[in-house]
Structure 1
């Protein structure tokens, strides 16, 4: 049998009397990286450059520009085998070379070069890694760039994970013999269901027909739950037909119609990889897999982590002296070779959702070769595939009432009630009350059984003041501690019996409301405000509604703060003052504004100027390009700002509005036109 293998198509073009030679081929790039990273934490990623054929390529240039918020420590390279030869790594794989353009000397048809990049994230914000390749004879420039955006933030206090349901996915899908789509089912694995996503969702994975370069009709046979004992994995598997109409063994080229000698180690992957690389076997063709994206997080949540793993199992028949037949398929982006003898599985690799991946396949044997009944194939949904969302589910406590109550010794005490809300409406808040001898909401005594939104303190035979507070918990480790309320056991009434005090949003103002049951010698109330709950200032004074400062009926008060801090938390309390200058403080009530997300930005697309309004006057405006480089920065000194775009090139940019005082940040993309 003729074992020679013709590779490539030589195209001759006559230019001005001289000949220029080129090999047209499809070179592509994929980048696989994290969707989030911790401040200063690990942010490693990989870049895979692949030659999808039909010809060899040389001197392919890969560029991954440096970006802010990311430090690259090292770059390593691994070259895979192709048709007739193996790829070659660059002579020097360094961060500087990667940023300026690193040249891959040789990339045979069907091979890949995989760069593993060790990196560390910055302290905050986000960055986008963009990898691009350049090859003059590339016949498909549409896959010459790939990007992944990573957001940097501390680990949220609540997380929810969804994992693939392999059995459910198999039951809900049927095979398309010439290609189709499998909707992978993901179900809630841990945490509380995310609003808008629910307990389950599907991710589409589209697979193409077998594209046999010899014109033979190869077909898919089934969608099953496949497994690999050697890998210890299961998954949703696409099984190719290996007997009858559409079999991989039909119409084999002459180079693939006889037995093959043993190799060391003699496993399916190593046999096919070695035989194709040395020209003893021809690859039959290719197919592509497009991986859908996981659902985007709703407002208030973030995509924390995701994993998509691919692996395959083939088949090899051998009698101890030769390999009589077999079939095999493998992603071009996988340079790893299974080295365990007798194992049919290909080593798994990570892939990035939202991207396309090409695999090649091959078979050899005589005309009677089949693998009927053997359930092996391409796993498009590994049992370890998952996605995790993170969010802050710390409840917002709007009020704890009454703020103060005074009772006589041995008298029944009134019920204290906390009113709270939280982000994740699918989880139920939990409550735990504490008592304290000092006016502090830490270090108190746990009250057994006091785990509802309301608590009634027991009667007391002795006089004195006891303070109470409640810890309200959401999902995960998220919790919020209320301010204190007090119960005074005394036979002498207080100057003011405060029934309630609460603050709430009223448009872009804060509305404060409180009620008193009785007042004695009350001059009025200082309205005190803080942005951190520690440092207070008086913003106004409200006189007692009783002209004499004395009242035995319920009095209702209100006050509007016309200028709350619109990008963060506003804490309020009352400082009650007697005519004899004795003072007392109410509980603390908090109002949270997030007006950054309501900032108006127009027009979009913009040509010369981007207008920004509804600012608070102390924001920093920054503009970043698609490579994460900061290209403009301006401080806001009023409620509006005109941002000049004259120095920017045409393209897509990210505008960030941040407030250093509150720590809030808001981002929005806009388009700069000519």
Structure 2
């Protein structure tokens, strides 16, 4: 099998993403397995190892499988601040299609060195990111996050994340899946998908999981047998769980054989999405809809951090009276992920 090791040096976080604590990232990795033809390492951000860049790379062509097997983060700790957990996030989507939410892969701690550096790793996730996809070119987008004793840190390419493409040469399901998306609307999750063609397709089951491992069926829709005409499907999860909900399609043939689509995720937050009041901001910026202990960071478009604070409750107010007029980027990070919005200050 081909192990594609995507190496991303997180020294770039100094230049691209504010580092808020003394614990931080040294390097990050993503581990994939593509059909079978040798190893490749790719880096993002600062690149002290001289590896080819991940950003904008062509990862290659797969006949049947590209496994995202997990990843690794190497961290350091200092001055009383330690990394408490590590995660890698990914999403994949066809070209010219609006991407959905990120899917989280937890990376457990596997070793700690005498100098305080730590290695967080998982390489057995076995996520086939070609499964269920029709022929075409797709984007794999990733970023990494560590949770510290005090604050969060990211390797996210300055909020733009790391993107590479890969090509699928043939469908791995008896249906050619054009798209599959899920979206949270108020307290429900709406799933939509479509096929370009179907062969002996008996049905679809929409399945849900809270850990991306154990799934339950929440909706069943009949397939269209054999057809070369585009078909569309939709289903609603009326009672998703709080937090991250993972979804996949289980497609069953008329002879009982089945296969799974790629995963999708939707987040149901206690307080909903963040809402900004008082824009353009003149004296006070009000941020509503925060989860408890969210990390709130505001920076200039050049990456200079002007505000960092952990929230205490669902709302916080930021005094912007001394800030120069202009455009700023608000990043809110919690255990469910990251939300980014633009903020305009005008005096």
TM-score by length of 2: 0.38
Decide which structure has the larger Cα Rg and report it: 1
Q: TM-score, normalised by structure 1?
A: 0.23
Structure in which a larger fraction of residues adopt strand: 2
Larger RCO of the pair (alpha carbons < 8 Å, separation 6+): 2
